[in-house]
Amino acid sequence: MRWENVITHSSRFITRVFNQLFPPACILCTYPTRSANSLCSRCQQDLPILPYHCQQCAQFLSPPTVNGLCTPCQHQPPPFDRTYALFPYQPPITSLIVQLKFHHQLAIARAIGHLFIQRFQQAYGGQPLPDLILPIPLHPNRLRERGFNQAVELARPIARAFNLPLDIKGVKRTKHTAAQSGLLAKEREHNIANAFTAYRAYSGLTIAVVDDVVTTGSTITECCKVLKQQGAKWIDVWCCARRG
């Protein structure tokens, strides 16, 4: 047996023994679980369900509207065409996102990525998937500070599962802005205006834009504006959590 084969076999054996001794834990309650999304069955059942929402921007709608759209989307449609949000922004999703973003818990991104995969297997059914996945870029200063882009980490397992290209260079965040949290809707719009620049054409492409949380949608809107200017045909927004 060649040396590299011996090493591969040994490392597989060690991984197996390690997993037997220390089974992977649920990301919410630490109960042992081997599920792909790293959630035990109980925590998975208890996940919050997104209320009835606008098909285009995922704004919660009460009561439902006839065409499934909120009033702003009917009168002044955003530059994206549909939003798939996994959860409302409420516990325990809020703490998962904080753990991911500020405590470098990348296992959470993989877990949420798997929840997206489960959802999209139903949501897209026979429909074609987008041509590429574009995680919302961070400004280089923010990326240096954090060490990773949470949107890229969320998108990675989805891209792998559906064999879709991940576009992390086509659009850049060229304006360093203050954090959006704590700002009012109008202030958010102003803060993020012209923050993105495209470095390629997107003529005729269908794109999935990924972000962790969508609040007023101003960041997504600004990024999608640039993509549509570059010729994007259709944009789906994939976000982990939507604030109502």
Which residues make up the interface to Zn ion (CB under 5 A)? Answer: 26, 28-29, 31, 40, 43, 54, 56-57, 59, 70, 73
Least gap, CB of 175 to Zn ion (angstroms) = 26
CA angle 229, 150, 27 (to 5 degrees): 145
Cβ atoms of 171 and 227 within 8 Å: the answer is yes
Rank residues 2 and 75 by Cβ distance to Zn ion and give the closer one: 75
The Cα–Cα gap between 134 and 143 comes to 16
Rank residues 170 and 244 by Cβ distance to Zn ion and give the closer one: 244
Rank residues 70 and 164 by Cβ distance to Zn ion and give the closer one: 70
Cβ atoms of 48 and 80 within 8 Å: the answer is no
Rank residues 118 and 230 by Cβ distance to Zn ion and give the closer one: 118
Least gap, CB of 59 to Zn ion (angstroms) = 5
Tell me the two tokens of residue 90. 């409420």
Count CB-CB contacts under 10 A for residue 244. Answer: 14
Least gap, CB of 234 to Zn ion (angstroms) = 16
Residue 92 burial (C-beta neighbours within 10 Å; 0-12, 13-18, 19+): middle
Least gap, CB of 73 to Zn ion (angstroms) = 3
